Amino acid sequence: MNIVSKELFQHMVRIRREIHMYPELGYQEENTATIITRELKRLGIEATTGIGKTGVIGRINKSNDTGPVVALRADMDALAIQEETGLEFSSKTEGVMHACGHDGHVAMLIGAASLLKESLQTGSVLLVFQPAEEGGGGAQKIMESGLLVKAEAIFACHLDRHYKTGKLVVQAGTISAFTDRFDITITGKGGHAAQPHDAVDAIVVASLIVMSLQTIVSREVNPLYPSIVSVGRIEGGSVPNAVAEKAKLSGTIRTTDTQIRDQIMSGITRIVDAAGTLHNAKVSVNFTMGYPSVINTVEESEIAKTAVINSIGHNALVDTKFACMGGEDFSYYLEKIPGCLVRLGSQKKGLECIPAHSSTFDFDEDALGIGAAFLAEAAKLTIERLS
């Protein structure tokens, strides 16, 4: 799709592939920050570096600090995954890869910066390159810096392989889930597998808890509220001929409503305590609060829809009433600044069923031009409304 010039598109592809070859985990994005700073300097855009350790914020200022201020955000970090894509620009860093498209997010924002540098007439745009979205909460560090205190709106795109390239999902309200974690520790009584009556089997208790937890969502939570309880890790025992004394379970809770969130945590605690009492084991559960839900504001969502129509076309717009159950620390920005996170279709032919956070993840690079054009248009429309 010829949304941006061929030269700009090719430049974004080069940036994306350079970043992809040298991925960095959260708060370690030193090389990525250097690439970003290099590109902003090439465009003549001032930048502040070292924000939240590795973050970068560029600023395009056309109003001498007096006009409206809009922020655009891209996350920078990669994941601890060994790449198996076979791409010619595959990761050169052992055990680390861009498996969620953040390399594309950076390239898109640099593309949007190029468009805005030439077309912005008034106001200021903050180009936020954020570290550590993948569990590190880098958005909080950016907000704590105080550099976004004057921002009156914020927008972002996230590549999404669920939708074809050329489609953008814009919806107001809740679009992602709370991402809470639970850790359960079980202590029984070890013994010989041939004399189980002399022991308390922690693995049996853990198994009961795993199966019982599944009934919380299926039998206790109102089905009108999307919810997930998943056990992702189980540890217990050391040899096959001994009753395990200890076991550990770890998992995630995904909800979109605070009351349901509390209800599920209460249900987990009740089930864990009951299983311990039933089998005479010592049990404990600890909860770690994750990212809040992303809640797009209504007015900014309408601006985003207009931006999609203006830059790509009305047929590109997808409106869904369903939240994604993934998490996003963009939520921290929206607690203070009105804004909208848009899902950008980037489904690559032959990889339609490959999810994000997979060792074979890749996306259609044609989405880069679409994302850059959308971000630039959303910034300009917002400044026009605020002027």
Q: What is the pLDDT along the chain (387 residues), one digit of tens a residue?
A: 668 999 999 999 999 999 999 999 999 999 999 999 999 999 999 999 999 999 999 999 998 878 999 999 999 999 999 999 999 999 999 999 999 999 999 999 999 999 999 999 999 999 999 999 999 999 999 999 999 999 999 999 999 999 999 999 999 999 999 999 999 999 999 999 999 999 999 999 999 999 999 999 999 999 999 999 999 999 999 999 999 999 999 999 999 999 999 999 999 999 999 999 999 999 999 999 999 999 999 999 999 999 999 999 999 999 788 899 999 999 999 999 999 999 999 999 999 999 999 999 999 999 999 999 999 999 999 999 999
Cα–Cα distance measured from residue 327 to residue 273, given in angstroms and rounded to the nearest whole number:
28
In which residue ranges of the chain is CATH 3.30.70.360 found?
178-288
Cα–Cα distance measured from residue 106 to residue 124, given in angstroms and rounded to the nearest whole number:
19
Which helix (H) or strand (E) segment holds residue 92: the answer is none
Would you state the structure tokens that stand for residue 373, as one six-digit string?
């054009």
From residue 263, alpha-carbon distances to 101, 103, 222, 302 in Å are 34, 38, 11, 33
Q: How do 178-187 and 282-288 pair as beta strands? A: antiparallel
In angstroms, how far is the first alpha carbon of the chain from the final one? 32
The DSSP-derived string for 352-372 is TTPPTTSTT----TTHHHHHH
Architecture, CATH, for domain 6-176+295-386: 3-Layer(aba) Sandwich (3.40)
Per-residue pLDDT at 322? 86
CATH number of 178-288: 3.30.70.360
Contact 319, 134 (CB under 8 A): no
The DSSP-derived string for 217-237 is HHHTS-TTS-EEEEEEEEEE-
How many secondary structure helices (H) and strands (E) does the chain include? 9, 16
Give backbone dihedrals phi and psi of 165, rounded to 5 degrees, phi first.
-60, 135
Which of the following is catalytic: 24, 29, 133, 365?
A: 365
What are 59's strand-pairing partners?
46, 126
Sheet architecture: strand order including 69-75: 46-51, 55-61, 124-130, 69-75, 153-164, 339-347, 168-169, 317-318
Per-residue pLDDT at 384? 97
Q: What is the pTM of this model?
A: 0.94
In which residue ranges of the chain is CATH 3.40.630.10 found?
6-176+295-386
Per-residue pLDDT at 198? 97
- Helices 367-386 and 6-21 pack at an angle, to 10 degrees, of 110
**Computed from CA positions of residues 136, 139, 140, 142, in that sequence, does the dihedral angle turn out positive or negative?**
positive
Cα–Cα distance measured from residue 226 to residue 209, given in angstroms and rounded to the nearest whole number:
22
Q: Which residues are annotated as a binding site?
A: 100, 102, 134, 158, 357
Q: How wide is the angle at C-alpha 52 spanned by C-alphas 48 and 57, nearest 5°?
A: 30
Per-residue pLDDT at 320? 84
Coil, helix or strand for 72? strand
Residue 313: which region, alpha, beta or left (left: phi > 0; alpha: psi -120 to 50)? left
Per-residue burial over 7-45, b if 16 or more Cβ lie within 10 Å, else e, is ebbebbbebbbbbbbbbbbbbbbebbbebbbebbeebeb
Q: Which residue's entry shows tokens 């770690």? A: 288
For the question of residue 133 being annotated catalytic, the response is no
- Helices 367-386 and 102-119 pack at an angle, to 10 degrees, of 50
Which of the following is catalytic: 163, 291, 332, 333?
A: 291
For the question of residue 365 being annotated catalytic, the response is yes
Per-residue pLDDT at 175? 96
Cα–Cα distance measured from residue 292 to residue 177, given in angstroms and rounded to the nearest whole number:
7
Would you state the structure tokens that stand for residue 297, as one six-digit string?
């504001």
- Please report, as a single letter, which amino acid is at residue 45: I
Per-residue pLDDT at 304? 98
Nearest to 101, CA basis, from 312, 373, 308, 354: 354
What are 181's strand-pairing partners?
252, 288
What are 323's strand-pairing partners?
none
Q: Which residues are annotated as a binding site for Mn(2+)?
A: 100, 102, 134, 158, 357
Cα–Cα distance measured from residue 46 to residue 37, given in angstroms and rounded to the nearest whole number:
9
